[in-house]
Structure formats: structure tokens, C-alpha cells
Amino acid sequence: MEEVIIIGSGCAGMGAAIYCARAGMNPLVFTGSQPGGLLTTTSDVENFPGFPEGVNGFELVWKMREQAEKFGARIEDASVTKVELTGGIKKVECGEKSFDAAKVIIAVGSSPRMTGVKGESELYGGRGVSACATCDGAFYKGKDVAVIGGGDSACEEANFLTRFCSSVKLIHRRDQFRASKIMAERALSNPKIETVLDSVPEEILADEKGFCRGIIVKNVKSGILKEIPCKGVFVAIGHKPNTDVFKGQVEMDPEGYIIPQSGSLVKTNLDNVYVAGDCSDKTYRQAVTAAAMGCMAAILASNSK
């Protein structure tokens, strides 16, 4: 039986793996369908401590993986398909293979909801399409960008981007924002933000070098198409935690985010089951906070009986 199984291999999972391995727990890590997590789709990370010149997202997570392996973590490129976590012995299945563990750390992350329009996937990750203004906003200093969405996240990201960008077009399918009144008012009163209401994205355009040059939107009332020149498009229509396999066992909110127990950031409602990273944290969603949560989960797991 494994002492601890870690499900997920982004900054949260690798952070947990490093600390569990150094504590002598010989952790077994399952990477999931996207080894390294969402950060591997980011070209440059400039806000992770210790890298003043920035670091490639894939390289950062890979170095964390190598560090975990150096201390004894065993990493399997496999996806967890079924779990049974309510008993004293935790059962984790990867297809036809089954594993028992005394403790489990869930670090499966979340996935941004995307629009699916033409050009979006081709330009995602360093070519002009992003789902994180905090991560990538500084790369668009002095440039015109667009934000898609109408909730709190979209308004917050649009306001944040005005710190760097010349202008921000805030594109929303309705004539009123779903955001809270205070967040909507902040966006509407910002002189750098121009709203494009009753409009949905139709296509994100690339220049001759394969980088974003603009977005085509369609007015849902008139059907008229309009091209908006911009160098970046930020999709802010929410995230989906990758927690479906844990439903019915681990306590979650209606969106599927795992709820930590009172007095802890990483304990779940189940004994010896912990959580770290973006599958629980929907406020910060940063590489450094995910790694920190992985550290906390590992320390609690190593100290528990």
C-alpha cells in the first residue's frame, strides 16, 4: 500500500510531491491527461519568485518534477478514472490498474472555459489568447486588447489590464453585465475600457507571423460583424475545476470546487484526503499559491497518522 498518492502534476501536485518525498513518504504521483497542468500552456512566467528574467511555464513545472524525482517521488503519466476515498484505505484506479493508499492529495487543477471560436486554440498560450490577465497582462504593455465576458472576473481582468494596456475592449453577449454592481461600475467608469455589448466573438484573427491581430464580433441583435484590432484577447468566462471523478465523496460547492474544512486551506471533509491548487482555490489561481498549497497539504499529510 502507498503511503500517499498525489493526483495531479502542476505546481500544486509537484509542490506536494517535493515535500512528501523529502519527508520520506515515497509519493506516487499521477500526472493526469495534461502533465504539468495548465502552466505548461504559458510561454513565459514572470511572477514566480526566483526567476527575475522569467521562465518558460513548461520548464518551470518540469524542473519541479525533476526536483521531486530527485528526492524519491515516483511519477506515472496516467489519468485517474475512479476513486474510493471514504474508507480508511483509499483506492485509486487508473484504467484497469488499482492502487491503495493511506493518504491522498488532490491537485487536479481547473480548466478555463473557452469560447471555441476559430483561431482561439491556435493562438492560445503566448500567441495572443490568454485566460489569465494576472499571468500575461504585462506582456501587452502599451497595446490594445480585448476581454470576453460579463461577470466579475471579466470586469476585474479588464480593470487590471488597464495598468499596462493602451485600451481594453470589454465584449459581452448581453446589454447588461452579470457582474456585481461595484465591479461593473469600476469597469464602466474606467476611461481605458470601452464596452462592446450585445456581441459575441466569431473569430480571432492572426497576422502573418501567427500572432493575434484582432477579433471579429457579431452583434446578436443586428447580426452585423465587426472587426476589432487588438494584440491580445483575454477569455474570462470562468473556469471548471477538474473534479468530476471525486463527486459524491469530497465536499464541493455547486461549481465543483473542493471546499476546504474550517480552519484549514487544504483539509477536505474526508480523513487523510487533502486538496491543493486551482481545484479548490478560485480566488488567486497562481502558480506560487498552488505550489504553497501543495506544500501545506504535504506537511499535514506527513504529520498525520
* From 11, 20, 132, 155, the catalytic residue: 132
Q: Which of 11, 20, 136, 155 is catalytic?
A: 136
Q: For residue 132, indicate whether it is catalytic.
A: yes
| Residues 6+ positions from 225 with CB-CB distance below 8 Å | 202, 216, 217, 218, 219
Q: Is 207 considered catalytic here?
A: no
Instruction: At 227, give phi and psi (nearest 5°).
Output: -95, 130
DSSP percent split of the chain into helix, strand, coil, nearest 5: 25, 30, 45
Produce one character per residue of 236-263: b if its CB has 16 or more CB atoms within 10 Å, e if not: bbbbebbbebbeeebebeeebbbebeee
Our answer to whether residue 165 is catalytic in this structure is no
Contact 237, 154 (CB under 8 A): yes
Q: Which of 11, 20, 135, 212 is catalytic?
A: 135
- Which helix (H) or strand (E) element contains residue 155? helix 152-161
- Catalytic residues, by residue number, are 132, 135-136
